[in-house]
Structure 1
Amino acid sequence: MILKGFEALKSFLEKPRNIVVIGHRNPDGDAMGSTLALKHYFDKKGHHTTVVVPNEYPEFLHWLPGSDTTYRFDWQNTQSQRAINGSDIIFLLDFNALHRVGHDMQKTLEKYPNDFAMIDHHQQPDDVKYMYSDVTICSTCQMVYQFIEMNNDLDLIDADIATCLYTGIMTDTGSFRFRSTTSTTHRIIADLIDKGAENDKIHNNVYDANSYNRLLLLGQALSNLQILPTYKTAYITLTTEEKKRFDFQKGDTEGIVNYALSLKGIIFAAIFIEDAEQGIVKMSFRSKGSFSVNQFSRNHFNGGGHDNAAGGKSDLSIEKTVTKFVTLLPQYQKELEASYED
């Protein structure tokens, strides 16, 4: 764990400040849950807080308390720039390096004259003045809860904050099934329920609000599933044409890679998704056991994340990206064989 400048940060926040809270590009449940929870908490402490995210986030997260107050940097650029330039400090949540917000927003943040505070659980964080980093914690939302606890303010957690935090912990742990879910996580979840998080409604809002086309897209993805038993690996592809056919919306591919990992005998899973807007192939990697997809992605696909969950990108075509991926596997065969035992 890295806890840098915490006492100085506490002193800085003793009087009302203009605060901006930022999540990463393509925000997920943990990014949105943590940024909105921190906003609600700081507002209750007397600060003026604005959440700014780089771009759109999935429809199934739009119901989160405070979501309607969030600025999108790509679409509401004037409002976002005004909030950033008028802030006394910026909190960076659920990402470890400024490039994770996208090129345009990164350029703005690199010119920011004041200080950054980072709360994040990804490996190899950039160095900023104030930092709470712990790669062993399952989600940034759990870290925000513990940040509030460090400030002796657990009594300020109301139903809105609890709902945001529960959502991020639930989504980043795969509904509490990943190895990073600890007994501490479950105790925090219990407290969030006691404080007003309605677990059944949250689960329904996130996982049981699929569109018809999203389910058809899932069917297409599963029909594209390929298995490489020699390397205990499975992968899925989705082309731009396939996404268009099923009226793809932001968030529709969330969690699909986990279907590949759910296969018996598979310990390494990947999904390759064409992104025509950015001109890249986006990738998500998942693993079981000791095989580090974080290191694999850093080594070969300009990405990173956690040991068992990471992302990457490629400037090659989807066909050439998959070919590159498959040709890399032999050099990792021993690691893959030793990674996990049923």
Structure 2
Amino acid sequence: MLDLASLTELLAQPKKIVITTHHKPDGDAMGSSLGLYHYLVQLGHHAKVIAPTDYPDFLAWMPGNEEVIIYTENLQQSATLIAEADLIFCLDFNALGRINEMGELVRQSSAYKVMIDHHLDPEDFDDYRHWDIRACATAQLVYDFIADVLNKKELVSKDVATCLYTGILTDSASFRLPNTTSAVHRIAADLIDAGAVNWRIHELIYNSSSENRLRFLGHCLANRLEILPEFNTAIIWVTKADLDQYDSNTGDTEGIVNYALSIGSIKLAAFIVDRKDKVKLSLRSKGEFPANDICKRYFEGGGHRNAAGGQSADTLEGTINKFKSILPEYKKLLIQ
């Protein structure tokens, strides 16, 4: 493992650096990656952000987005950059399986690996780790890494601040989750002071839907919402035909699960969607209910207590039935 002194020494001279994050990156994944990118280029490093897959169009406005390399569209370039890197920063994930085929390339690279993350149960592939499951977002940890660990707060530029604010905003559900502490609000204030235009970022993230996405949301709420009052649980399920009918793109399902959770009596919400390869689940919960426990034990996934995800090789109907079948095990927690 690298210690802080060794890492600081490595970063003292320009290096070839790759920054990557999990597949189907969300706001925190791209915000933390681009925020770190803007910090590193100020120091003269040759940094590149490689996303394992595409990501939602509503994130494309972020400064530096035009420099992002999509691995699935640039296989050879990505492989070369990873092989030649001196350091690889792994953000918002802690197991190499989360970056799909890139995982083995990163594992085999001779580069030092630096993990910055807030998820449970990290895999032991990194050389330096800045990790805290109490953080509301990886972007919060990137800010802490720059400002406090490396003592370079003065290099939190407008572009750095804009990207990191985006990550914190999205992963905290607009500052609504329980882990949005007073420290998080102080960081947000620092980022605004550094140039992040908070109201504009909110507009670009949340008020940029396509007509198709809005109609798709209406379809989900009108025709695919099921309430299980005996378990204070709501399910929204989506078929492949639904996705095709509304020409669904990457990111169009983002946040739909929160509409189910917004019902006053609901303590657990599930969004279950039939993708090309597997059925994907996104769970959200209120209070102390452990959504991540369900995903870890039954759906090959995990995450945070109130926000978790998983997958199933079963059919959509089979996955829905399996989800319902495990609810009695959690009934005491769900109705208390």
TM-score band by shorter chain is over 0.9
Q: Shift of the alpha carbon at 1:110?
A: 2.4
Q: Shift of the alpha carbon at 1:232?
A: 1.0
Say whether the 8 Å CA contact 2:86–2:110 is kept in structure 1: no
**Residues of 2 paired with 1:165 and 1:88: CA distance?**
24
Corresponding position: 1:245 with 2:245:
yes
Corresponding position: 1:106 with 2:94:
no
Superimposed CA distance per residue, residues 169-225 of structure 1 (whole angstroms, 9 cap, x where no aligned partner): 000011111111011111111111111111111111111111000001101111211
Q: Give the corresponding residue for 1:231.
A: 231
Counterpart secondary structure, 1:41: helix
Superimposed CA distance per residue, residues 106-129 of structure 1 (whole angstroms, 9 cap, x where no aligned partner): 222222222211000001111221
Q: Give the corresponding residue for 2:174.
A: 175
Q: Give the corresponding residue for 1:269.
A: 269
Distance 1:318 1:142, change over 3 A: same
**Residues of 1 paired with 2:136 and 2:285: CA distance?**
15
Say whether the 8 Å CA contact 1:236–1:271 is kept in structure 2: yes
**Residues of 1 paired with 2:176 and 2:295: CA distance?**
23
Counterpart secondary structure, 2:109: coil
Superimposed CA distance per residue, residues 272-305 of structure 1 (whole angstroms, 9 cap, x where no aligned partner): 01111xx101110011111111111000000001
Superimposed CA distance per residue, residues 134-153 of structure 1 (whole angstroms, 9 cap, x where no aligned partner): 00010000100000112111
Q: Shift of the alpha carbon at 1:51?
A: 0.3
Quick check: 29-38 or 192-201, which moved more? 192-201
State percent identity of aligned pairs: 46
Q: Shift of the alpha carbon at 1:4?
A: 7.0
Superimposed CA distance per residue, residues 220-253 of structure 1 (whole angstroms, 9 cap, x where no aligned partner): 1112111111111101001110011111011000
**Residues of 1 paired with 2:190 and 2:287: CA distance?**
30
Q: Give the corresponding residue for 1:13.
A: 11
Counterpart AA for 1:273: V
Quick check: 13-22 or 320-329, which moved more? 13-22
Q: Which runs of 4+ in 1 moved over 3 A?
A: none
Counterpart secondary structure, 1:179: coil
Counterpart AA for 1:122: H
Structure 1 vs Structure 2 CA RMSD: 1.2
Counterpart AA for 1:304: G
Map 1:4-83 → 2, pairs under 5 A: 5-83=3-81
Counterpart AA for 1:16: P
**Residues of 2 paired with 1:82 and 1:205: CA distance?**
34
Unaligned runs of 5+ in 1: none
Superimposed CA distance per residue, residues 81-109 of structure 1 (whole angstroms, 9 cap, x where no aligned partner): 1211110011100011100111x212222
Of 73, 86, 89, 1:88 maps to 86
Say whether the 8 Å CA contact 1:5–1:131 is kept in structure 2: no
Q: Shift of the alpha carbon at 1:5?
A: 2.7
Counterpart AA for 1:163: T
**Residues of 1 paired with 2:67 and 2:4: CA distance?**
28
Q: Give the corresponding residue for 1:293.
A: 291
Counterpart secondary structure, 2:234: strand
**Residues of 2 paired with 1:183 and 1:45: CA distance?**
30
Say whether the 8 Å CA contact 1:27–1:57 is kept in structure 2: yes
Q: Give the corresponding residue for 1:155.
A: 154
Say whether the 8 Å CA contact 2:282–2:310 is kept in structure 1: yes
**Residues of 2 paired with 1:38 and 1:281: CA distance?**
33
**Residues of 1 paired with 2:334 and 2:8: CA distance?**
45
Q: Shift of the alpha carbon at 1:335?
A: 2.1
Q: Give the corresponding residue for 2:163.
A: 164
Counterpart AA for 2:264: K
Counterpart AA for 1:117: V
Counterpart AA for 1:168: G
Counterpart AA for 2:102: M
Say whether the 8 Å CA contact 2:161–2:192 is kept in structure 1: yes
Say whether the 8 Å CA contact 1:4–1:132 is kept in structure 2: no
Counterpart secondary structure, 1:74: helix
**Residues of 2 paired with 1:192 and 1:183: CA distance?**
14
**Residues of 1 paired with 2:43 and 2:26: CA distance?**
26
Of 103, 122, 125, 1:125 maps to 122
- Counting matched residue pairs gives 333
